[in-house]
Structure 1
Amino acid sequence: MSPEHEAWSIGELAERAGTTVKTVRFYSDRGLLPEAGRSSGGHRRYGPEALERLRLIRSLRALDLPVPEVGRVLEHGDGLTAGLTDAIDGQLRVLGGQLTALRWREAALQLLRDTPAELRAERLRLVGALSAPPGTAALARFWRAALPVRLSRPLVAAVLEHAVPEPPADPSPAQVLAFAELHAIVTAPCGEGGRSGTVWTDRVRRPDVLYGGLFEAYALAVPEVTADRTPGRGAVLERFVAAHAEGRSEPDGPGFRRRLSALLTSATDPSVERYWALTTVFGPAGRTPTVGAAHAWMRAALAADVAAGSG
């Protein structure tokens, strides 16, 4: 019988492919190997095309493609078309996630290795509460709970963009520790349910006006914070106060500024201040100051203004 008309038993196919009968039967049962026919006894017979298909399957499996994905690739003919490209892209995404998880674990181990003995138990607890890589859902919930209920979606998204750092794909040990601390802050008792930072917005009538104005004030404050200028009177403070006055539908004036300064001071949460300080670990050196840093500068400017006598 000529090679193009050969028909092999399952054992002969396995021998030619350098694999086991069990493997051939596994792929055959799933419809991935074409049969050339059946023997008089009803046994499967395979031709050269099955051998080529089996070699292709083993090559795809060597790339760690799951069997269902292999089947989808084979549905595209020779497996070298868009089906293979899609499978490779999908596998690259999976591997990328696995590599990121490994890098987070490596950085966590380096952190614990280099941590002084007296701090190791505490840091182990912090890091152990994180997934690898960590998600940002808990951080987002924390800030959503702190924002006015009626705040528009675009402004909520703007706050989250500034307040929730993206976990880096290749973190340093310091970044692992910082993210672990962030996670601890937002998941502490009353963390995900909001903190005292909501106090200064509880009487806001027009939250979009308040937050829109605050973002304008933050933009004005960036050069002041970057230059490390002493907080005081000026355009930044005026826009900051105006945002609060307009958001509350109250007139600006010395009395309003005294009440606002007292309210912002009483609503200051050390944990939130710490949160903003930790977020700086995830940006490049010299990056734009955080919203938290800008807000602290403006709060200090208001306090100085009140102390000097508003008006």
Structure 2
Amino acid sequence: MSADGFWSIGELAERSGVTVKTVRYYSERGLLPEAGRSAGGHRRYGPEALDRLRFIRSLRTLDLPVPDVGRVLDDEGALEDVVAGQLRELGSQLAALRWREAALRLVRDCAPEERAGRLRLVGAVTTPPSTDALARFWRRWLPPRLPARVVSTVLEQTVPQPPVDPEPGQVLAFARMHAFVSAPCGGDDRAQPAAHRTSGGHRPAVLYEGLDEAYALAAPQLRAGRAPREGEALDCFVAAYARSSGTRDTPAFRRELGRVLDADPRIDHYWQLAAEVFGPDHTTAGAAHDWLLASLHSQLDPAAA
């Protein structure tokens, strides 16, 4: 330290264990204020600059971007927000790495003749994977003008989030789902269930709110491995269709409902893949629907059941 109590840029660099270039960089970015200039115009720094420079280095060791370092230097209370933001970004990066690892294992472990096809499938999915294509598929599939809360509930039931630590099989299933929903769908009304059509007084919003409750009641039955049966879940399922069409739940209505649902288009392939992505602890809406429809048929024709 010189007689005036200040350090030159070289002295500060030596004391802090960094290069002169580093000190100059932080000074020019406004992170390390100068105490003044020498008669020759050289930067001078006070003792407090050493602590500030060490603090900057600590933040940069955590790989915080320079703008975020500046925020923390201006307001140490911002440190919590900055760290939280970095943790979110790091989580996304780790998720992408885990997905890449599982995708690479998927390609490595398959038969040579399968590799080209699997590469095309996984190569069409972003890393980390996005569920936007799946959500768009369901928005097209659903009837128009559903309330936002109903659409949100349906998307939660139908769009599986990519696993945090996926197995290769889940990567393959997700990639196949992405390919399935990205294929041209035509847009013909006949490709949707009859209850989606608003003609004839149908109220699809009422239907989907009721189905959400029915699927929740059916899920424990499926997890327990119980055969399709009469009960609260089936009654709730039928009531959802009856209310949405303004009809009473009668034996005749149940027979007609069974016929209509049997004729509805199905997307079993989607639900099979979704079950792989969701994992064994999750009951998909597709599985719950099939169980409830089988329950309806077992009631209508006990002998066949």
Structure-2-length-normalised TM-score: 0.84
Quote the residue 2:289 is aligned against.
Answer: 295
Q: Which of 205, 213, 216 lines up with 1:216 in the alignment?
A: 213
Contact 1:4 1:48 in 2 (8 A): no
Q: What pairs with 1:225-236 in structure 2 (closer than 5 Å)?
A: 225-231=222-228, 236=233
Aligned in 2, Cα 1:194/1:277: closer, same or farther, shift over 3 Å?
farther
1:161 maps to a residue whose letter is E
Q: For structure 1, which runs of at least 5 residues remain unmatched after alignment?
A: none
Deviation at 1:116, TM superposition (A): 1.4
2:211 maps to a residue whose letter is L
2:105 maps to a residue whose letter is Q
Q: Which of 168, 181, 206 lines up with 1:173 in the alignment?
A: 168
Deviation at 1:126, TM superposition (A): 1.2
1:125 maps to a residue whose letter is R
Higher mean C-alpha deviation, range 289-298 or range 246-255: 246-255
1:290 maps to a residue whose letter is T
Deviation at 1:234, TM superposition (A): 5.8
Quote the residue 2:263 is aligned against.
Answer: 266
Higher mean C-alpha deviation, range 245-254 or range 116-125: 245-254
2:288 maps to a residue whose letter is A
Contact 1:245 1:252 in 2 (8 A): yes
**In the aligned structure 2, how far is the partner of 1:225 from the partner of 1:191?**
34
Quote the residue 2:51 is aligned against.
Answer: 52
Contact 1:146 1:195 in 2 (8 A): no
Contact 1:232 1:301 in 2 (8 A): yes
Contact 1:107 1:176 in 2 (8 A): yes
Quote the residue 1:146 is aligned against.
Answer: 141
Structure-1-length-normalised TM-score: 0.82
Q: What pairs with 1:108-147 in structure 2 (closer than 5 Å)?
A: 108-147=103-142
The one-character-per-residue Cα deviations of 1:129-175 (angstroms, maximum 9, x if unpaired) are 11222122222222122222232232222211211112222111122
Identity of aligned residues (%): 57
Deviation at 1:101, TM superposition (A): 1.0
Contact 1:200 1:267 in 2 (8 A): no
Deviation at 1:62, TM superposition (A): 1.5
Contact 1:210 1:244 in 2 (8 A): yes
Higher mean C-alpha deviation, range 105-114 or range 51-60: 51-60
Deviation at 1:23, TM superposition (A): 2.0
Aligned in 2, Cα 1:5/1:89: closer, same or farther, shift over 3 Å?
farther
Aligned in 2, Cα 1:25/1:251: closer, same or farther, shift over 3 Å?
same
**In the aligned structure 2, how far is the partner of 1:213 from the partner of 1:252?**
14
RMSD: 3.1
**In the aligned structure 1, how far is the partner of 2:290 from the partner of 2:228?**
9
Q: For structure 2, which runs of at least 5 residues remain unmatched after alignment?
A: none
Count of matched residue positions in the alignment of Structure 1 and Structure 2: 301
1:116 maps to a residue whose letter is A
1:169 maps to a residue whose letter is V
1:8 lines up with 2:7 in the alignment: yes
